[in-house]
Amino acid sequence: MKQLPEDLVSIRLTVNGVVRSLDVHPGETLLEVLRGRLRLTGTKRGCEVGECGACTVVLDGRAVNSCLVLAVQADGAEVLTVEGLAREGALHPLQRAFLEHGAVQCGFCTPGMLMSAHALLAQDPSPTPDAVRRAIAGNLCRCTGYQAIVDAVLAAAGEANSS
């Protein structure tokens, strides 16, 4: 971290496996940097006060609200966003399960849901339905009624465990 003229700060982030160096304002959020500077617009901007989960990303292995993390605080960290889930054009098993179970309707909550689910499965590969519900408790969905999302996460976990 280096302080530059006009109060810009140099930071280095690893985003979806790629090292990115950039100069940011101290007040800028990780969400603003991901969307505005890195053009990674999969991460959604909802409430910007921690209440909807649309902006959820995985920061050093943990789900966080990127609207409540200063970009400067993420200096040196690893960030995983929804764009980092698919590999060589193939959807991540969680993404496939969301499609198969009708867990995506308007899709606005989906990236945040996927990242909360991803962080859960990394820590707890065989979660109970209740653990899935708790993991996505900070992610609002106004379309699906949640059950399809819970089913999708459980199916993705089951698939990973049987393969």
Q: Which residues bind ligand FAD (CB under 6 A)?
A: 49-51
Q: Which residues contact 36 (CB under 8 A, 6 or more apart)?
A: none
Q: Which stretch binds ligand FES (CB under 6 A): 10-18, 46-54, 73-81, 152-160?
A: 46-54
Distance CA 129, CA 92 (A): 20
* DSSP-derived secondary structure for 44-95: --S-SSSSS-TTEEEETTEEEEGGGSBGGGGTT-EEE-GGGT-BTTBPPHHH
Residue list 131-150, contact with another protein (CB under 8 A):
134-135, 137-139
Question: Closest separation between CB of residue 79 and ligand FAD, Å?
Answer: 19
Q: How far is the CB of 119 from another protein (least distance, A)?
A: 8
The minimum distance between CB 54 and ligand FAD, in angstroms, equals 13
Shortest Cβ distance from residue 9 to another protein (Å)?
Answer: 6
CA dihedral 145, 151, 154, 157 (to 10 degrees): -110
Of these, 45, 92, 96, 133, which contacts ligand FES (CB under 6 A)? 45
Helical H segments across the chain, by residue range = 30-32, 93-100, 110-123, 129-135, 147-162
Q: How far apart are CB 129 and another protein at their closest, in Å?
A: 15
In 3D space, the residue among 133, 96, 93 whose CA is nearest the CA of residue 116 turns out to be 133
Whole-angstrom distance, CA of residue 94 vs CA of residue 28: 30
From 15, 33, 38, 64, residue interacting with another protein (rule: CB under 8 A): 64
- Per-residue contact string for residues 18-57; x = within reach of another protein by CB under 8 A: -------xxxxx------------------xxxx-x--x-
Tell me which residues touch another protein (CB under 8 A): 1, 3, 7, 9, 25-29, 48-51, 53, 56, 62-65, 67-70, 72-73, 75, 116, 119, 134-135, 137-139
